[in-house]
Structure 1
Amino acid sequence: MDSDIKILVVKYITGQASEKEADWLKAWMKESPENEAYFAELYETWHNTLITGHQINTDKAYAEFLSRTGQTAGPAGSTAAGITQLWRRIAAAAAIVLCISAGFYYFTRLAGNESEFTVVNVIKGSRKQLLLPDGSKVWINAGSTLKYEKDFGQTSRTVYLNGEAYFDIAPGLKKIPFMVKTKDFIIRDIGTIFNIKAYSEMPVFEATVLEGEVSVEGKFNQKAKSAKVFLKRRQVLKIDIGQQSGDVAATVQSKSIEADVPVRIQQLNPETEDQYIGWKDGLLAFHESTFEQIANDIERRYNVQVIFENEDLKDFKYSGSFRSVNDVTTVLEIIKKTTPISYSISGNKIIIKGNN
C-alpha cells in the first residue's frame, strides 16, 4: 500500500483531509474491494483504540496503526516519521475534545437509569419515522423499541434496537461513529443506508446494506471471541441465531469467520429488495418465506395473534406482496388462494387450519 495513501486515509478518518483529498480518496476506495476493506479496517482502528475504557491512549492507537499498516516508527525525514508527526498532531487535537467528552460521559452515566435515555416504543400495528439529533433518519417497524442517550451526538452516536429499523445516516461527525447495538450484535456505520432486523424474541438476525458499508460484530461461535464481518453496498447478512449447525463459515472480503450458527451473506437483488425494506413504505413482501415467518410479520403489522392448528402448516412457503392493505382478512384471503389453508378469526386471534 502506497505510503501517501496511508497518510491520506488517516487524515480523512480523523477529519483532517481537505475537500480535494476527500474526493480523491472516495474515488480510490471505489476502485476495488481491497481498497474499501483497507479503509474500513483503519476506520475501525481509530475509533476502537484511541479510547480504551474512556481513557485517551494515543500511544496504543498509533502502535495499532503501525501494526495494521506494516510499518515501524522511522527516523526524521522518513515517510514513517511523517506519519508519526501527523498522528501526534491529530491525537493531541482529539485528546482535548475527548477529555471533555469523557468527563461529561462519566457525569451523566453515574445516574445509570432510564431517565438518561430517550426511548421510542412502536406498538404493533403501527410504524414510526424519527429524526435523530445528528440529522440521521430512522424508520422504526411495528413491535420495536429504539433507545438512545439524551446527549446523543455529543459524546456518542449509539442507539439500542430491539426490533427492526431502517437507518439513513447523516453525513459528518466522522469522529463519533454511529453504532446500533442489538441483543447479540453491534453494527457500525461507515456512511450508509441500512436496515437491521433484530427482534429479541426471534431467532434470526438480518442486516441489509443499501448504500455504503457497515461492520457487524458479535459472537458467531460460542467458544470463540467476537468476530467481525463487513457488509458492502447491496449485501444482506442473515444469521439464524436459534440454530446450531456445526461447521459453518461466512466469507467476506477474503476473510472467513467460523460460526456454529447458520450465517449467509448474499447479494440484494431488485426482485427481493422489498422483502427486506418494503415495510417502511407500507409493503408486506415475501419471497419463498415460510408461513411461520409470514405469521410473525402479520402479527406485528396488524396487532393480532396467529395460532397454527397443525405445526406442519408453518413450513408452507409463499411468495407475494401486499401494498397498503389495512385489513388482515384481505391478506389471508389472497394467501389462501395459492396455499392449502383455511382460517377462522376470534377477536384478535387468527387460527390457521389445513384443508382436509
Structure 2
Amino acid sequence: MDSEKLLHKIAENKSLTDSEELYDFVNESGEHTKQYIRYKTLWAMLQTGSEMDEITINKGYEAVKRGVKGRRKSVLNAIAKYAAIIILAVSAGYFLQYAGFDNEIAMNEIMVPKGNRTSVVLPDGSKVWLSNGSRLVYPESFVGDFRDVQLEGEGFFEVTHDKKHPFIVNVGKHRIKVLGTKFAVVAYPEDDQVKAELVSGKIQFDIHLGGTEENYKSFMVSPMHSLVYEKASGKMYDSTIPDGFFDYWQKGVYSFKDERFDSLATKISRIYNVEIIFGDEELKSRTFTGTLSVDDNIYTLMEAFKIASGEPFEYTFESGKIYIDK
C-alpha cells in the first residue's frame, strides 16, 4: 500500500477492524506499524470536530502529504496554523509516542504545548478539549468492558453514553468513572491536587489508597460541583462550580476572585508559555480578582496586575521568564 492510499484510508476514518487490507499492511512489518501511527497522528492533529470546514481539511490533507515526504518543518507550520497544536515528540522523529500494538490496537498519544488548545474526537464519538501542557493517551478503538484513557493536565470531556461500557479517565493512580456526561478534569502531575468538575450526568472519583491495585475509596460528584483531592493530606473538598467555568472552556477566558498571585502565576505560565519567578515571598500571597484571556497580550496583562496590586511591583522579561520583585 503506497502513502497516498494509506492517507486516504485514514482520512476516511478507516480503523484496523474496518479494513482487512489496512490491517494486513500495518501488521506486515514494524516499519509499516510506525508509518501508520505517524500518519494517523498527523491526521488526528488536524481534526477539531465540526469546527473545521472542508477547505481547512483539504489544506490539512495536503500538509500531511507534504510532511510525509520529509519536510517536517513545513508540516509543523501548517499544523500549528490550522489545528493550533504541536506534538512535542517531533524532536524524536515521530509525531506520536509509540505506546504499543497489543491486541491489534494502537495507542494514540496527543501532547499539547503550553499556550495551545485543541480538541479530539475519540473512537466512540466522545469529545475531549485539551489545553496548556496536557497529554492524552487513548486507543485506536475501545475494546473490552471499559473505555479507558489516560490524562495528564486539563481536559473537558463530553462522553458518549454507553451504559455497558463505562468511560474511565486515569489520572496517575487515581481514576474517574463515567457513564455519559460532561465534566472537566485538572490533573497536572506537578500540582498538589487533582480536581474533577461535573456539569451534568454522573461521575465517580476513585482515589487509590495504596497497596493492592484495586484498593480505592470512591466519592460521588454532584452536578455543577467540583471535587478536589489534596495529594499531600489525602483530604477531599467539595465546592460549587464558579460562574466562569464555561467561559474558560468555550472562550478561553479564566475568571478568578481573591486568588493568590502564586496560583495565578501557575495558570499564566501554562496559558502564555512563560515561567514566573518571584523575588519576594510576600508577593505570592497577594490576591487578585478579575479575568484573563488566552488572547491577552502578556505584557498588557502584567501591567494590569501591577496596577491592580495594592503596592506596585516591578517585573522584567528575559528569555521566556518573568521576574517579579518589590
Q: Would the TM-score normalized by the shorter structure come out above 0.5?
A: yes
> What letter matches 2:152 in structure 1?
N
Normalised by the length of structure 1, the TM-score is 0.58
Q: Does 1:291 align with 2:261?
A: yes
CA positional deviation for 1:308: 0.7
Do the aligned partners of 1:188 and 1:215 also contact (CA within 8 Å) in 2?
Answer: yes
Task: Tell me which residue corresponds to 1:266.
Answer: 239
Match of 2:193? 204
Question: Which residue identity does 2:276 align to in structure 1?
Answer: V
Q: Cα offset for 1:328?
A: 1.0
Q: Would the aligned equivalents of 1:166 and 1:277 in 2 still touch at CA under 8 Å?
A: no
Q: In the alignment, what sits opposite 1:126?
A: 116
Give the equivalent residue in structure 1 for 2:168. 179
CA contact (8 A) 2:183 2:197 kept: yes
Q: Is 2:177 aligned against 1:188?
A: yes
1:166 and 1:277 map into 2 onto residues whose CA distance is 12
Give the direction of change, closer, same or farther, for the CA distance of 1:166–1:194 in structure 2 (3 Å limit). same
Instruction: Measure how far apart 1:336 and its partner are.
Output: 1.5
The 5 A counterparts of 1:8-157 are: 109=102, 116-152=106-142, 156-157=146-147
Aligned partner of 1:281 among 248, 251, 265: 251
Please give the per-residue CA displacement for 1:266-289, whole angstroms capped at 9, x wherever unaligned: 222xxx232586145211222222
Q: 1:227 aligns with which of 201, 206, 217?
A: 217
Asked whether the equivalents of residues 161 and 182 of structure 1 are also in contact (C-alpha less than 8 Å), the reply is yes
Does the residue aligned with 1:124 lie in a helix, a strand or coil?
coil
Q: Output the CA distance in 2 between the equivalents of 1:301 and 1:338.
A: 20
How far apart are the structure 2 equivalents of 1:123 and 1:187?
24
Quick one: distance in 2 between partners of 1:277 and 1:153? 35
Distance 1:304 1:342 in 2: 17
Q: Which residue of 2 aligns with 1:346?
A: 318
Instruction: State the distance in 1 between where 2:238 and 2:135 align.
Output: 26
On the 8 A contact 1:305/1:349 being kept in 2, the answer is yes
Q: Give the C-alpha shift of residue 323 in structure 1.
A: 3.3
Task: Please give the TM-score of this superposition, normalised by the length of structure 2.
Answer: 0.63
Structure 2 gaps of 5+ residues are 1-99
- 2 CA distance for matches of 1:153 and 1:277? 35
Alpha-carbon distance between aligned partners in 2 of 1:319 and 1:295, rounded to the nearest angstrom: 14
Amino acid at match of 1:312: E
Residue 141 of structure 1 aligns to a residue in which SS? strand
How many residues are aligned here? 224
Larger Cα-atom Rg: 1
Q: CA deviation at 1:305?
A: 0.9
Question: Is contact 1:166-1:280 (8 Å) kept?
Answer: no
Which runs of 5 or more residues in structure 1 are unaligned? 1-106, 245-260
Q: Distance in 1 between matches of 2:235 and 2:211?
A: 13
Q: Which amino acid in 1 is paired with 2:271?
A: R
Q: Give the superposition deviation at 1:135.
A: 0.9
Instruction: State the 1:221 CA deviation.
Output: 8.4
Q: Which amino acid aligns with 1:215?
A: Q
Q: Which amino acid aligns with 1:159?
A: V
